[in-house]
Amino acid sequence: MSQVIAITNQKGGVGKTTTSVNLAAALAANGHPTLLIDMDPQANAASGLGIQPAPGSSLYPVMIGEKNIHDQIQQTNYENLYHIPAEVDMAGCEIEIAREPDPIRKLQQILEPLRNQQELEYIFLDCPPSVGILMTNSLAAADGLIIPVQCEFYALEGISKILDLIQKMKDQGINPDLRIIGVLMTMFDSRTRLSQQVVQELQEHLPDQTFNTIIPRSIRVSEAPSFGQPISDYDPKGVGAAAYRELAREFLERV
C-alpha cells in the first residue's frame, strides 16, 4: 500500500520543491517506485525533472471530475520516478472544490485508487506556500508530513503556525492519524552563527521530530533545476547530492 507524504510549509522559499524533487529522485534511485504530484500552481517541480507540462496534464482536471488520475501520471527520465505536474489552472481548484459537499477530502478520495496499487511505494505532494484548499486537501490526504525549514530567524515562528494547523485538523477529525515524519533544516550555512542557532533551537524544541540530516546551502543545488535535473544527476559527487541521499536513508528509517 502506498504512503502519501505531504511536503509542506505555509512559508515560501524554504526548499519544499527542491526537497520534493531530490528526495523523490533519491528514493527512486534506490529502487522505491515514487510518484511526485505538484500541488503548487507555480508548477516548479516539472522543470526540476526536465518535464515540459502540456495543458491539462495536471491534477486539476481530475479534481473537477473531468479526467482519471491514472491518465495524468507521467514517467520521468528516471527509473521508478513518476510525476503529475501542476499548471496555473490549479489555482482554480480553490473555487471549484469549495462547491463540493466535502471539499477538504477531495484529494483523499482521488488518491484512494493509487494507495492500493503495488506499483507505487510513495506518493509525494509538493504543497503550495499558502493555507488554502490545495494545502488543506494535501494535509487531509497525507499519512505523514515533511516540513522543510530554512535556517533563518523566523524558522520557529513558521513551524509553530504549521503545527497549529496540523493540530486543528486532528482535533476536527479531518485526519486524526496525521503524523510528522520530520522537520528538515534547509539552506544551512555553517559559516553563520544564525544557522547554527536555528539548528540548535529546533533540535531543542522538537528533538524527536527533527531530521538529523541537514541540507546545506549549495549553489549546485540551486542550479540543478535550470538544467532539468535532480541534484543526484547534476552533481552526483557534491555535498547536496550526498545530503539528499542521507535524507532518503533517514526517511526510510522513519517511515
Confidence category of residue 59, pLDDT binned at 50, 70, 90: very high
Residues 24 and 15: beta-carbon distance below 8 Å? no
d(CA 49, CA 70): 19
Q: What pLDDT score was predicted for residue 24?
A: 98
Q: Kindly tell me the burial class for residue 191, based on how many C-beta atoms sit within 10 Å of its own C-beta (0-12, 13-18, 19 or more).
A: exposed
pLDDT one-digit tens code per residue, 148-187: 998 877 777 778 888 899 999 999 999 999 999 999 999 8
Q: What number is the average pLDDT over the span 33-43?
A: 94
- The backbone torsions φ and ψ at residue 157, rounded to the nearest 5 degrees and listed phi first, read -65, -40
Indicate whether 189 pLDDT > 90: no
Indicate whether 101 pLDDT > 90: no
Q: What pLDDT score was predicted for residue 171?
A: 92
Q: What pLDDT score was predicted for residue 119?
A: 86
d(CA 76, CA 121): 16
Burial per residue of 39-69, b for 16 or more beta-carbon CB atoms within 10 angstroms, e otherwise: bbbbbbbbbbbebebeeebbbbbbbbeebeb
DSSP string for 113-159: HHHT-TT-SEEEEE--SSSSHHHHHHHHH-SEEEEEEESSTTHHHHH
Q: What pLDDT score was predicted for residue 249?
A: 98
pTM value?
Answer: 0.95
